[in-house]
């Protein structure tokens, strides 16, 4: 259920041409975003983890009118998002050069290397969100024992394919760049393939599981 007692309670005007709509979960945010995009009424719709930002044309619609239109969609109820049934297995090389923060996380959490890997690979996850940088994947459901904060000083460069954990989520770096997630490993799975019809193969709602592999076996 979207937050608030009614659809209008969930909608907040946050700019001259922007609305913010609260959502109780990433999948509900994704469902609302899909429904609003399908209507063709909005300039842009962006789903987050707990909200959806809607941009309207302020030259033809007032903020109050736009808010009422979104509230009407919420009152009608959201169509469920069709979740992919295929389970994607992502091979990961944990620790060493592939996971520069792996040993420090073991010390911080009191877990052995084997225990950390077992906790991270024993769960089937759902993708919460794709964004921040192109193709960056947010995956919820991390075990509480692995719930650690982000780095106090972000790295200037994180390699593409890096697997980080922070704040109850796993983050996958599709492209190289700066980042503040503690890195526990790296995958050779192509999170970004510019030659493919779909350059970013992982999308919101997908089922994923991590598989531990050696560097040679994983192709790194």
Kindly report, residue by residue over 112-167, the tens digit of the pLDDT: 999 999 999 999 999 988 887 889 999 999 999 999 999 999 999 999 999 999 99
pLDDT at 194: 86
pLDDT higher than 70, residue 62: yes
pTM beyond 0.85: no
pLDDT at 153: 95
Torsion sign, CA atoms 153, 154, 155, 156:
negative
Chain centroid, CA 46 distance in Å = 13
Kindly report, residue by residue over 9-28, the tens digit of the pLDDT: 688 998 889 999 988 878 78
Average pLDDT of every residue of the chain:
88
Give the helix/strand (H/E) hosting 136.
Answer: none
DSSP assignment of 85-113 equals -SEEEEEEEESGGG-TTHHHHHHHHT--H
Domains and CATH numbers, the chain: 7-76 (3.30.1360.40), 87-218 (2.40.100.10)
Of the listed ranges 76-85, 123-132, 163-172, the least confidently predicted one is: 76-85
* Nearest to 50, CA basis, from 68, 79, 30: 30
């Amino acid at each position: 259920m979207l937050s608030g007692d009614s659809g209008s309670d969930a909608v907040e005007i946050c700019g001259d041409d922007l609305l913010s709509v609260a959502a109780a979960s990433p999948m509900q945010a994704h469902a609302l975003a899909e429904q609003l995009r399908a209507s063709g009424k909005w300039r842009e719709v962006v789903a987050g983890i707990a909200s959806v930002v809607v941009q309207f044309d302020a030259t033809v619609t007032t903020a109050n009118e736009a808010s009422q239109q979104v509230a009407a969609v919420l009152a009608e109820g959201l169509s469920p998002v069709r979740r992919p049934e295929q389970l994607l297995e992502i091979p990961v090389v944990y620790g060493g050069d592939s996971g520069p923060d792996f040993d420090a996380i073991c010390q911080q959490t009191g877990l052995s290397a084997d225990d950390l890997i077992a906790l991270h690979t024993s769960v089937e996850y759902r993708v919460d969100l794709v964004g921040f940088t192109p193709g960056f994947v947010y995956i919820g459901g991390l075990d509480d024992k692995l719930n650690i904060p982000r780095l106090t000083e972000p790295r200037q460069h994180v390699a593409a394919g890096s697997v980080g954990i922070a704040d109850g989520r796993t983050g996958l770096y599709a492209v190289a760049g700066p980042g503040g997630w503690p890195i526990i490993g790296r995958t050779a799975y192509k999170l970004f393939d510019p030659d493919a019809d779909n350059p970013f193969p992982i999308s919101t709602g997908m089922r994923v599981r991590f598989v531990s592999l050696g560097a040679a076996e994983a192709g790194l």
